[in-house]
């Protein structure tokens, strides 16, 4: 009986490990000008471990993932101020990627810096995600990005496959409207924040961007190894869809974020292309993102 119980426990542990969705690396760095006390340093180390556990051991969806299927992502928290012990403010860099089929290459899906980070943390406190509830700032911010990362990943495998996950991220934003912290409201400084990030991605005007996400990755990046010519043709078609978005929302956060994540990838992809093909892609990229024309011009060099 004891042996059977042990086997059941082992099975449940394996199932739990395989069901988590994120493979998230977490690092915390502090501004060199901060004079950290020993207590501050110990708290930051604990905070790093707590965030790691929260991101990697929370089950975010009802889907089962094997270890190999987990979504690779990185969080780097930069602490700029510690007004009082246990209160932190700074920025959060979020990156996620996924492997290309038949390759050891990883393509970047999301790369964003959130400059509206401010929260309190008590030693020994556990972070818990509570659906439909704003419990605290840190768990809400992390849960928002967990769902946004997963939404981007799902969108890259099936057309608009991440809708349900983006909807949950939007609910987190709605629940946080009572918070006095920045980044949750439409009135927050500029439009480079969580509110506009999720509002845009679910707006019908940005539907071509989500079509692009699917076509670019599933019919482009995933096909590069087997059929380079067709893959690049599909990537060109995917990027062309962004013209419709930029015509109505020039310099929009989500399109610029997508283009920034893909700039180096496109440079490498077209480095050996014929001059005609290079000119076509450069002209398209300049049309989509004219502010960064000089970066795309480097493809021709």
Per-residue model confidence as pLDDT tens digits over 237-284: 999 999 999 999 999 999 999 999 999 999 999 998 999 999 999 999
- In angstroms, the CA 3 to CA 169 distance is 43
Q: State the Cα torsion 203-209-212-213 to the nearest 10°.
A: -80
What are the pLDDT digits (tens) for 95-111? 999 999 999 999 999 99
Q: How far is CA 51 from CA 55, 92, 130, 142, in A?
A: 6, 12, 15, 8
pLDDT of residue 191: 81
pLDDT for position 187: 83
For the chain, percent of residues with pLDDT exceeding 70:
93
Q: Which residue has the tokens 């970047």?
A: 108
User: Residue 181, class by beta-carbon neighbours within 10 Å (0-12 exposed, 13-18 middle, 19+ buried)?
Assistant: middle
- Please say whether the beta carbons of 298 and 282 come within 8 A: no
**What percentage of the chain exceeds 90 in pLDDT?**
88
Rounded Cα distance, 81 and 164, in Å:
36
CA distance 262 to 244: 19
| CA–CA separation, 131 and 253 (whole Å) | 27
What is the mean pLDDT of the segment spanning 203-212? 98
Q: Is the dihedral of CA 132, 135, 137, 142 positive or negative?
A: negative
3-state secondary structure of 191: coil
- pLDDT at position 13 over 60: no
pLDDT confidence of residue 16: 42
Return the H-helix or E-strand segment holding 120: strand 106-120
The C-alpha atoms of residue 161 and residue 150 are separated, in whole angstroms, by 10
**pLDDT given for residue 19 in this prediction:** 57
Whole-angstrom Cα distance, residue 237 to residue 278?
15
pLDDT at 2: 38
């Amino acid at each position: 009986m004891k042996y059977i119980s042990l086997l059941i426990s082992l099975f449940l542990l394996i199932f739990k490990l395989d069901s988590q969705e994120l493979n998230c690396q977490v690092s915390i760095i502090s501004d060199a000008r901060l004079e950290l006390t020993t207590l501050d340093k110990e708290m930051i180390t604990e905070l790093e471990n707590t965030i790691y556990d929260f991101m990697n051991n929370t089950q975010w969806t009802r889907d089962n993932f094997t270890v190999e299927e987990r979504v690779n992502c990185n969080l780097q928290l930069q602490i700029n101020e510690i007004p009082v012990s246990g209160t932190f403010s700074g920025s959060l860099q979020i990156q996620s990627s996924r492997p290309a089929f038949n390759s050891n290459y990883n393509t970047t899906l999301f790369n964003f810096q959130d400059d509206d980070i401010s929260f309190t943390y008590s030693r020994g406190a556990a972070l818990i995600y509570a659906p439909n509830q704003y419990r605290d700032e840190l768990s809400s911010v992390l849960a928002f990005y967990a769902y946004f990362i997963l939404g981007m990943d799902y969108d890259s495998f099936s057309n608009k496959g991440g809708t349900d996950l983006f909807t949950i991220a939007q609910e987190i934003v709605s629940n946080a409207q009572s918070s006095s912290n920045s980044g949750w409201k439409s009135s927050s400084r500029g439009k480079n924040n969580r509110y506009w990030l999720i509002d845009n991605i679910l707006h019908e005007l940005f539907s071509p961007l989500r079509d692009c996400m699917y076509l670019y990755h599933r019919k482009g990046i995933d096909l590069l190894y087997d059929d380079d010519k067709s893959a690049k043709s599909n990537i060109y078609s995917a990027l062309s869809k962004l013209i419709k978005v930029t015509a109505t929302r020039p310099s929009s956060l989500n399109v610029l974020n997508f283009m920034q994540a893909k700039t180096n990838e496109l440079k490498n992809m077209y480095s050996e292309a014929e001059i005609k093909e290079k000119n076509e892609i450069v002209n398209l990229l300049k049309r989509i993102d004219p502010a960064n024309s000089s970066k795309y011009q480097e493809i021709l060099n």
